[in-house]
Structure 1
């Protein structure tokens, strides 16, 4: 793509970033840190400053779903103009001008689109009744509705939900704590089998019921929190297994068993037919009582502005390895960007906290003229019922996983690519017990090691010893 610099006469125009999430805010701060001397404008459609999105479904210990990524004062001190509650209505590429909803126009020297993604709608009759979880306002509304359903009694705050979820996690861990993926692959005990254990907190038949459509990360994290608020929770997943597209089946089965032990009902292989005022109807005729419905069926990139401006979009705004579009003045990063690293490869989106941060930093460098390509390995994490899940690399569904023993209650799975290189790692363990191993395995992937599968599976061989000499 053409990356020729602009004429010097345009240099006094500001760097403009559309999207004040973590990606956009980090790009703005990086521009200033790397010496951009002129204006930087950060435009956000939400009325609040940049915050960390993972906290919406994984609140802090005090139950706070809002974790600022950059304080307003920090941005102001860096000379960054923050415009919140501001919608961009059009991109005029010829004159390099944005049109804002309030009628203003804003020129740019370089423009970064960090518009993120929007929840996929539940496209069934009544689907608009379902809540979504993508913004701070969504999280606040969900918690408020759940507290109201639980009676608003003492102990039903978001903080209490976190504490209750921790209690449920302890019970679930006692009820189901396989030491290996082989154990997890056996048929898990049903939630009813744990009803005799008072600590397993079985759902009362009279408790208000929440139905979560979608058995992905957001759906399962939300299930744990809503159980902590005292609601009965049912997760409905169309696929044959939870987390089927992103997590090895052995880990998905273990997570399902943990949720069932905590009192969550899981229905797989089922599709929603309709949502009514008080129920969710499945295509097989079942009707689930639902005082609250959450649609957690994924997101789609926010590309409307880019498409209207004539930029190439294909499941995201298509950019090269520098995060530049075909327009030399326009870049895209984060959840909205589809990165094409070579002409003969398909563009790929990376939807994770780390990807948003790394792409924000890289986009800032590219906007300043740096030519280095983005080097990024997919990675994501999730906290559910006191367990940490991490997946690094690009797992291939048709390749086998190698299990490596990794401590009590932990499961660590590794995968080699077609040339025998370590290509992916996935782990699940109480707390963050698996995090250190995953970090080391990422470094080994960077080194391009081709380990003997038998050695990789041998816990007696330290991972550090696999480092190339």
Structure 2
């Protein structure tokens, strides 16, 4: 790969990790990392927790010090995003009009928050949380707020609610589904999280939808109207109803898109000189049928390392085990594997305290949801990473006293 030019579009977790991984593997060509923001590439998970609470400074969020990029020969282009991909000319065009030639192009364009399609959504005080700038603005808003309304009871919404309630802001979460984090975890973990939020004074309004936001004479939000007629007071509203993959560049360039930028098992797009990784990519996985798009730090980092290996000649399908986590109050929820609503579920431990839910499909362990049981999470990841290795059965997991830490695979029966 000597003399080869790699351009990485997107300077988030996936993009920054891909640039670093190329150098770690000894790649000697040029590496250019192009981002929209001016900030040094940073971690996003702490934005809704430590940074928002004022415990974490912006500099502590940096994935790598600014000096790292220069020291490793990574050209960092910032505040000048890519606006067009010229596949025939193998160049990307920046907003400034500058062009960057490439031999290999890596799209790490991420995702953007969904907006709330109701009257009043453009009022001041209505925010989403994706970037460092978003988090800084929200921190300033919360410092003088009395009432926060969070629209959406998923990862971001509940993390925000936990942080705000600890800061002393009266918080209401409005969730259209029947339970919080309903698309991510099962009813056992969902109930545990809901109980913890209510214990901290957070009001959870489930099965409700927002119909409008009302503001004062200055155009600042003051009320959230719900479909049951309820009017929720709010000085600040945060919309956390999911994200859309940023596929526009790829689509305009004629690459295949559909629920994300479509890639093969080696993370290549329909143009073999172009790859896609992280939140924007839709890829085949041995852990789910069809194709999958994951918004997770694990997936972004693992795919970044994988594409770096691919560009350096170590070709192989991407098979990393998916895993996720969220910290809320004193609870750490960890999920390993891709779990579905119809899976057979076995709870081990105390559902009111530390516990795990082992999930089985056709009698095979496919994932584990854990609350304050990190060992179960790590063991599950190891088990899933060995597709032909032994795993506990549903009957074993259901036996009194079962513990993944002490479980041993039965000895093979000799012929």
Q: Contact 2:40/2:62 (CA < 8 Å) preserved in 1?
A: yes
CA distance in 2, matches of 1:106, 1:464: 55
Match of 2:98 in 1: 104
**Pair 1:427-2:366 in alignment:** no
After superposition, what is the alpha-carbon deviation per residue over 1:126-177, rounded to whole angstroms, capped at 9, x for unaligned? 123320000000001001111133xxxxxxxxxxxxxxxxxxxxxxxxxxxx
CA distance in 2, matches of 1:241, 1:57: 21
Deviation at 1:325, TM superposition (A): 0.7
Deviation at 1:466, TM superposition (A): 2.6
After superposition, what is the alpha-carbon deviation per residue over 1:420-442, rounded to whole angstroms, capped at 9, x for unaligned? 2211100113xxxx112210122
Match of 1:242 in 2: 180
**Pair 1:459-2:401 in alignment:** yes
**Pair 1:391-2:330 in alignment:** no
Count, aligned residues: 396
**Pair 1:123-2:117 in alignment:** yes
Q: Contact 2:391/2:409 (CA < 8 Å) preserved in 1?
A: no
For the residue of structure 2 that corresponds to 1:70, the secondary structure is: coil
For the residue of structure 2 that corresponds to 1:346, the secondary structure is: strand
CA distance in 2, matches of 1:37, 1:23: 20
In terms of fraction of residues, the more helix-rich structure is 1
Within 5 Å, give how 1:328-343 maps onto structure 2: 328-341=272-285
Match of 1:136 in 2: 132
Deviation at 1:306, TM superposition (A): 0.4
**Pair 1:264-2:202 in alignment:** yes
Match of 1:215 in 2: 153
Q: Output the TM-score relative to the length of structure 2.
A: 0.91
Within 5 Å, give how 1:171-186 maps onto structure 2: none
For the residue of structure 2 that corresponds to 1:401, the secondary structure is: strand
- Residue from 119, 133, 143 that aligns with 1:147: 143
Match of 1:63 in 2: 55
After superposition, the Cα gap between the structure-2 partners of 1:354 and 1:401, relative to the gap in structure 1 and judged at 3 Å, is same
- Residue from 10, 14, 39 that aligns with 2:5: 14
CA distance in 2, matches of 1:12, 1:446: 36
In terms of fraction of residues, the more strand-rich structure is 2
CA distance in 2, matches of 1:444, 1:23: 26
After superposition, the Cα gap between the structure-2 partners of 1:462 and 1:29, relative to the gap in structure 1 and judged at 3 Å, is closer
For the residue of structure 2 that corresponds to 1:340, the secondary structure is: strand
After superposition, the Cα gap between the structure-2 partners of 1:345 and 1:225, relative to the gap in structure 1 and judged at 3 Å, is closer
- Residue from 385, 395, 403 that aligns with 1:446: 385
For the residue of structure 2 that corresponds to 1:376, the secondary structure is: coil
After superposition, the Cα gap between the structure-2 partners of 1:369 and 1:451, relative to the gap in structure 1 and judged at 3 Å, is same
After superposition, what is the alpha-carbon deviation per residue over 1:396-431, rounded to whole angstroms, capped at 9, x for unaligned? 20122101126982121101111x2211100113xx
Q: Contact 2:150/2:238 (CA < 8 Å) preserved in 1?
A: yes
Deviation at 1:464, TM superposition (A): 4.2
Q: Contact 2:210/2:226 (CA < 8 Å) preserved in 1?
A: yes
Deviation at 1:451, TM superposition (A): 2.5
After superposition, the Cα gap between the structure-2 partners of 1:422 and 1:87, relative to the gap in structure 1 and judged at 3 Å, is same
After superposition, what is the alpha-carbon deviation per residue over 1:76-132, rounded to whole angstroms, capped at 9, x for unaligned? 111100111121110000010111011101100100000000000111111233200
- Residue from 260, 264, 279 that aligns with 1:320: 264
Match of 2:41 in 1: 50
**Pair 1:273-2:217 in alignment:** no
- Residue from 287, 293, 298 that aligns with 2:237: 293
Following TM superposition, the consecutive aligned residue runs of length 4 or more in structure 1 with deviations greater than 3 angstroms are 460-465
After superposition, what is the alpha-carbon deviation per residue over 1:234-281, rounded to whole angstroms, capped at 9, x for unaligned? 000000111111111111111111101101000000000011211111
Match of 1:188 in 2: none
Match of 1:171 in 2: none
For the residue of structure 2 that corresponds to 1:75, the secondary structure is: helix
The RMSD of aligned alpha carbons is 2.0
Match of 1:405 in 2: 349
After superposition, the Cα gap between the structure-2 partners of 1:97 and 1:292, relative to the gap in structure 1 and judged at 3 Å, is same
Match of 1:227 in 2: 165
Q: Unaligned 5+ residue runs, structure 1?
A: 1-7, 150-207
CA distance in 1, matches of 2:173, 2:318: 37
Q: Contact 2:320/2:385 (CA < 8 Å) preserved in 1?
A: no
Q: Unaligned 5+ residue runs, structure 2?
A: 216-221
